[in-house]
Copies of this chain bind each other. A is one copy, B any other.
Amino acid sequence: MSSSDLITRVLANKYSPNGAPSLDNFKVVSAPAPTKDSLKENQVLVRNLYLSVDPYQRGRLSGATNSFVPRYELNEPIYNFGVAVVEAATSTGIAEGDIVAVPNASWETKSVVNAGTLRKLPTGTMDNARDFVTVFGMPSFTAFVGLTTIGKPKAGETILVSSASGAVGQIVVQLAKARGLRVVGVAGSDDKVELVKSIGADAAFNYKTCGTFTEAIKQAAPEGIDIYFDNVGGEFLDATLANINTGARIVSCGMISQYNVKSADEAYGLKNTFNIVTKTATFQGILVGKYYGSPTEDEFMAEVGKLYKEGKLRYRIDETTGLENAPQAVLNLFDGKSFGKSVVKV
């Protein structure tokens, strides 16, 4: 067997219910490549091109069986949204050379997948295949769904966005700006703050150096917060609750500050939720899955696609090359090292 017959796979090696994940959670191995001769009916042999790297994967590594996403199985490849090129297919609708979106792409060089799980991307997209895990990827769609269905933005309102230089935040900042809102972004380094300003935020600050959160928010948005797009939870969310206007909407997308607490007792306790009553506010989690295939997805592709084609949408990408480096890309999400949408080029 020549080395070209081997593929690289990233397996789940152990679970970490609490605390920060480490390289020990993963195992990178070599394995024989699947061949087209082994395909059964309606199966497709794909070569993965790009894999999305997202914070919610932390939950799959917790080992919990009651989580909102199934856990990764130990000694099996981990998986996430990806884009692949078809090498062989036994299905009538899909042919060699097609570029396809793979909802649960295994983190391995090549995979055999069922044709029914794939979505064919427009022909001629080989050159911009990466766009489908980045600017048109799941985090972007999450930004659009959260902003439009929960945020319900109105021109002239003020929106606060945390993790504003991240995969979701960058899109929220730019869509909100395009819709005429005043945008305040928060990020975890001066470089990130600069990016957030450069993509259109009216104000931005570094939460690591801003001093008291409540005061920093008040200074950046003395008019109060109408929409908070929350990616972090915890103390920053609590401080925002102290600054919301009547009728505020809190779009709850993630709580990355709370993913790696060492025990449930260490979780931050929110003290200002009474403002949800007094300000008749809404605090709602995003359900993105049900909007795939709905008119909302068409609206997303139209609005984001138009801005992108016109050069009015910038999207910073943090690209890692090689599956063997993919575990580190996951870890980088949780210590502030990643900058922009994280993606692995297989």
Contacts and interface: CB of A to CB of B under 8 A. Distances in A.
Contacts of A278: 59, 67-68, 285
B283 A276 contact: yes
B276 A252 contact: yes
Q: How many copies of this chain?
A: 2
Which of A59, A264, A282, A284 counts the most B-chain CB atoms under 10 A from its CB? A284
Contacts of A282: 282-285
A187 interface: no
B280 A281 contact: no
A278 B253 CA distance: 9
Nearest to A284: B282
Interface stretch (A267-275, A316-324, A336-344): A267-275
A1 interface: no
Task: Sort chain A's interface into a size bin.
Answer: 20 to 34
Given A282-B284, A283-B282, A284-B284, A253 B277 contact: yes
Contacts of A272: 267
Interface of A: 59, 67-68, 233, 237, 246-247, 252-255, 258, 264, 267-274, 276-287
Nearest to A259: B274
Contacts of A253: 277
A324 to B, nearest CB: 31
B269 A271 contact: yes
A258 B274 contact: yes
Contact of A284 (B233, B237, B268, B276): B276
Contacts of A269: 268-271
Given A233-B274, A237-B273, A283-B283, 16 more contacts: A68-B246, A68-B278, A233-B273, A233-B277, A252-B273, A253-B277, A254-B277, A267-B272, A269-B271, A276-B283, A276-B284, A277-B285, A277-B286, A279-B285, A282-B283, A282-B285
Nearest to A237: B273
